[in-house]
Structure 1
Amino acid sequence: MSAPAFEVPPFAKRCLEAARAQWGASFEHPFVLALAEGTLDAEKFRFYQMQDARYLEAFADAASLISTRCVSPVDKLWFVDAARMALVVEGELHAGYGEKLGYGPEEIAAMELTPNNRAYQDHMISAATRGTLVEAVGALTPCPWLYIALGQHLLERLGTIEDDHPYADWLRMYSDPGFNEYMNEILGRLQRFADAADEAARERAVQAFVTSVRYEWMFWQQAWEHQQWPV
């Protein structure tokens, strides 16, 4: 894993260090490796994309809830924009693959969430409503951070993304250096909210971060195995 192209403040480093093993596991997951190689089964990717579209709705909900708890109008607006980005910018990626793989908004809305997806969503919403601000942002941060880190890592590994790569759009989106400013913004807020919290809240935020990193790995896994409810 290469060094990030954005500043990582001290509290973010503390969170990342606590989740080091779980974080690294995503980089070695067979779903991620097959996606990078272009050998990932299209049906697995379709399953993942549809589940991810529903996950992003919850991410937007969590970001919107966090915005209502911010005192600063600048912070409020940033989290509102983060919610919008999840639905609009990443939604465009989903729409493009939906045309290729045969799904649309109706199919996404009717789909049953996997156990892993539902649990991850509940974790984020719980942190956004019941935790302190630093806990809420701690739970939210691994999703964008891990995807951007993966995208930039995979681009470095591949060297270039060929136009005929089946997942070129996904790889190009998450390796885009334009996301570096987004990471500076969210990690800076995580640091400010950590500075304003007590140590007990900071430790809960670290654990919320670690839990989200675990769910990120589980998200690859649920798509890899086409997870279903056991009963």
Structure 2
Amino acid sequence: MPSFNDLSSACAEEWRDYLEHDFVRQLGEGRLPEESFRHYLQQDYLFLIHFARAWALAAYKSRTLAELRQATASLDTILNTELDLHIGYCSEWGISEDDLSELPESRATLAYTRYVLDCGQRGDLLDLHVALAPCLIGYGEIAEWLLDQDTTEIENNPYADWIAMYSSDDFKEAVEAEREWLDARLSEVSERRLGELVDVFRDATRLEIDFWQMGLDRA
């Protein structure tokens, strides 16, 4: 039966380029330029806002009470927990909430967030989840990959908190829950439908690669 692993395997080259991007490698080794990380943090704040919009759309697309509860719980977590934590983390890097409120969106942020919303609008709930999967599941895999690398520095790494956040038990639980949801739905799709979803996953992964590159280029 199809599962999330079929999506990532079908896009193995793009998935590897995303998980092992030079932005990720430099972050793990503690040599990522601070201005690159600040730029990424600011754009990630804007991404979170659109991520919340995507979960609001997921609520609209839900067909069962369980799906509706899942979507609204995710929306509440982003709006009332994650955004506040992100604002606090940004302040530690010298980025004020006023700074965040005046940010222009980079082209990479525009491209990825609007793609996700478009997938949800023209497709169904599964399309939306697949478009979001490189972000949620990908960050979990990236944190695990970093911890497995001999070159990753933790003690003297200014980005150690970022690695800890995405390797935490709470985030692992969220990743596992999303994998289980996707595996259950993907197991029911036809070969043709799976091919459509692979295309969505590949495009979303390519846009995530561009998001990392945006951080490096500070563009």
What TM-score, normalized to structure 1?
Answer: 0.85
Q: 1:126 aligns with which of 107, 118, 130?
A: 118
Q: Matches of residues 2-81 of structure 1 in structure 2 within 5 Å?
A: 10-81=2-73
Q: CA deviation at 1:86?
A: 3.4
Q: CA deviation at 1:107?
A: 1.6
Query: 1:115-146 CA deviation, whole Å, 9 max, x = no partner?
Result: 11101011100111111222111101110111
Q: 2:218 aligns with which of 193, 211, 226?
A: 226
Change (3 A) 1:87 1:38: farther
Corresponding residue for residue 148 of structure 1: 140
Q: CA deviation at 1:93?
A: 4.4
In percent, how many aligned pairs have the same letter? 28
Q: 2:154 aligns with which of 161, 174, 187?
A: 161
Change (3 A) 1:168 1:78: same
Q: 1:105 aligns with which of 81, 97, 102?
A: 97
Query: 1:154-197 CA deviation, whole Å, 9 max, x = no partner?
Result: 122257732x4211110100111332322232122223333455
Between the aligned partners of 1:87 and 1:131, the Cα distance in structure 2 is 24
Worse-superposed segment, 73-82 or 190-199: 190-199
User: Which residue identity lines up with residue 182 of structure 1 in the other structure?
Assistant: A
Give structure 1 stretches of 5+ with no counterpart. Answer: 1-8
User: Which residue identity lines up with residue 200 of structure 2 in the other structure?
Assistant: A
Worse-superposed segment, 177-186 or 112-121: 177-186
Q: 1:172 aligns with which of 164, 189, 193?
A: 164
User: Which residue identity lines up with residue 161 of structure 1 in the other structure?
Assistant: I
Change (3 A) 1:40 1:59: same
Q: CA deviation at 1:59?
A: 1.2
Q: CA deviation at 1:92?
A: 4.5
Between the aligned partners of 2:7 and 2:177, the Cα distance in structure 1 is 16
Which structure's relative contact order is higher, taking Cα pairs within 8 Å and 6+ residues apart? 2
Q: CA deviation at 1:114?
A: 1.0
Corresponding residue for residue 127 of structure 2: 135
Q: CA deviation at 1:198?
A: 4.8
Q: CA deviation at 1:89?
A: 4.2
Q: Does 1:189 align with 2:181?
A: yes
Between the aligned partners of 2:131 and 2:52, the Cα distance in structure 1 is 13
Between the aligned partners of 2:179 and 2:72, the Cα distance in structure 1 is 16
Between the aligned partners of 2:38 and 2:218, the Cα distance in structure 1 is 10
Q: CA deviation at 1:45?
A: 0.5
Corresponding residue for residue 6 of structure 1: none
Q: CA RMSD in A?
A: 2.1
Equivalent pairs counted in the alignment come to 218
Contact 2:10 / 2:198 at 8 angstroms: preserved in 1? yes
Q: CA deviation at 1:85?
A: 3.1
User: Which residue identity lines up with residue 144 of structure 2 in the other structure?
Assistant: Q
Between the aligned partners of 1:184 and 1:82, the Cα distance in structure 2 is 14
Give structure 2 stretches of 5+ with no counterpart. Answer: none
Query: 1:63-90 CA deviation, whole Å, 9 max, x = no partner?
Result: 2211222122222111222233334444
User: Which residue identity lines up with residue 220 of structure 1 in the other structure?
Assistant: W
Corresponding residue for residue 5 of structure 1: none
What TM-score, normalized to structure 2?
Answer: 0.90
